[in-house]
């Protein structure tokens, strides 16, 4: 390993060690900072996972409560974001199972006509319309594919997680992650093409 | 390569080509140069990723504030709970220690009183047992009464 890579790895480990120590102490300032830092990533993931902004916001809060309670279990060998997303995933899947005893695939029935509402960031009217159209098309296409494919695609292409990190978050073997990405993209691209035509 | 080259190329595109070895990257580039259909697939995937990243999904300020407040309140509750547990643990240890030290002394004290008062051994021994167990009995009764009171109060407020 060269010096730069060694420095990067050590930097990551020391940062995760600081997080782990803070979580063990239940340091509220550290938690505030982590909530600020990971707010968008976590919420985006939950919105794509549940296809329901309200539910995603509830799960967002519950995830941080769980992080506070289970902070001592965080292993600084791993990225904090991977651990955070896997907690969010477990909570959401548990909630959905309790609500409707089915796997994530069962979500599809409830997702008809649901769109992912982006917040108003006040661009120009024309930009807004174009952005909204594109966002709606994308949301409709994403909602139309199986939830586990959607999850893998969002983690890979939106959150930029590596394949092994996706495997850690979802608890699926690496081969399954690859297959979900391939099948998901195959299911998604024709929908997007159809929507644009 | 025994597998269908188009499927192989698309799998690599779907998984993101960054993790590929140099030889695989070269093979993929050559294949994309030669195959229009896979090239379209790669372009469509690239366009999709760009569109996905441009969707402005963000957390509201109020959500972040509410979450931070909830987390802080819960952290405080957990700390109070931990402090109470620490007190209970310490009390148990102190009670255990004091019982270990005082019980033999008390036994001898009751024995002496029994001999001085000329009562038989079973009598002063029963007296000792009653005296020894009465604080724990009293505390148990208080806790029981308080528990019943709280259950009743909860039942009334929900009903």
ipTM of the complex: 0.71
Instruction: Classify residue A186 as exposed, middle or buried by CB count within 10 Å of its CB (0-12, 13-18, 19+).
Output: middle
Check whether A118 has a pLDDT greater than 80.
no
CB nearest B78 (choices: A26, A47, A64):
A26
Check whether A135 has a pLDDT greater than 60.
yes
Check whether A46 has a pLDDT greater than 80.
yes
Q: Given an 8 Å threshold on Cβ–Cβ distance, is B53 in contact with A157? A: yes
Report the distance separating Cα A136 and Cα B51, nearest Å. 11
Report the distance separating Cα A184 and Cα A97, nearest Å. 23
Give B-chain residues touching A135 at CB under 8 angstroms. Answer: 55-56
pTM over 0.90: no
pLDDT in tens, B69-126: 999 999 999 999 888 889 888 988 998 898 888 888 989 999 999 989 888 889 999 9
Better-scored residue on pLDDT, B51 or A130: B51
Minimum distance, in Å, between the CA of residue A24 and any CA atom of chain B: 12
Instruction: Tell me which DSSP letter residue A51 carries.
Output: S
What are the tokens at A134?
Answer: 């594109």
Check whether A62 has a pLDDT greater than 70.
yes
Q: Given an 8 Å threshold on Cβ–Cβ distance, is B67 in contact with A44? A: no
pLDDT in tens, B14-24: 887 667 888 88
Inter-CA distances, B67 with A31, A33, B109, Å: 10, 12, 61
Q: Given an 8 Å threshold on Cβ–Cβ distance, is A189 in contact with B44? A: yes
What are the tokens at B136?
Answer: 């724990």
Q: Given an 8 Å threshold on Cβ–Cβ distance, is B67 in contact with A131? A: no
pLDDT at site A128: 56
The reply to whether A161 touches chain B by the CB within 8 Å rule is: no
Question: Which chain B residue has the Cα nearest residue A56?
Answer: B59
């Amino acid at each position: 390993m060269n010096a730069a890579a060694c420095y990067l790895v050590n930097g990551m480990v020391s940062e995760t060690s600081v997080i782990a120590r803070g979580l063990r102490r239940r340091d509220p300032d550290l938690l505030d900072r982590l909530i600020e830092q990971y707010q968008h990533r976590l919420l985006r993931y939950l919105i794509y996972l549940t296809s329901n902004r309200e539910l995603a916001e509830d799960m967002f809060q519950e995830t941080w409560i769980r992080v506070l309670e289970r902070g001592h279990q965080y292993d600084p060998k791993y990225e904090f974001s991977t651990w955070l997303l896997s907690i969010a995933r477990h909570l959401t899947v548990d909630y959905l199972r309790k609500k409707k005893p089915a796997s994530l695939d069962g979500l599809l029935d409830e997702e008809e006509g649901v769109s992912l509402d982006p917040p108003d960031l006040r661009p120009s009217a024309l930009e807004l319309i174009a952005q909204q159209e594109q966002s709606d098309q994308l949301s409709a296409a994403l909602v139309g594919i199986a939830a586990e494919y959607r999850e893998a695609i969002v983690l890979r292409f939106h959150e930029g997680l590596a394949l092994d990190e996706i495997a850690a978050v979802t608890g699926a073997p690496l081969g399954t992650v690859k297959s979900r990405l391939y099948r998901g993209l195959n299911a998604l691209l024709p929908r997007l093409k159809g929507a644009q035509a | 390569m025994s597998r269908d080259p188009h499927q192989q190329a698309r799998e690599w595109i779907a998984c993101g080509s960054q993790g590929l070895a140099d030889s695989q990257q070269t093979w993929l580039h050559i294949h994309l140069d030669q195959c229009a259909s896979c090239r379209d697939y790669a372009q469509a995937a690239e366009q999709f990723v760009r569109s996905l990243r441009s969707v402005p999904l963000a957390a509201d300020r109020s959500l972040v504030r509410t979450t931070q407040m909830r987390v802080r309140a819960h952290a405080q509750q957990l700390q109070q709970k931990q402090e109470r547990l620490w007190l209970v643990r310490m009390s148990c240890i102190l009670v255990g220690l004091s019982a270990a030290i005082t019980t033999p002394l008390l036994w001898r004290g009751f024995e002496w009183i029994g001999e001085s008062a000329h009562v038989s051994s079973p009598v002063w021994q029963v007296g000792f047992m009653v005296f020894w167990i009465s604080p724990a009995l009293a505390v148990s009764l208080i806790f029981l009464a308080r528990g019943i009171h709280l259950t009743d109060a909860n039942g009334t407020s929900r009903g």
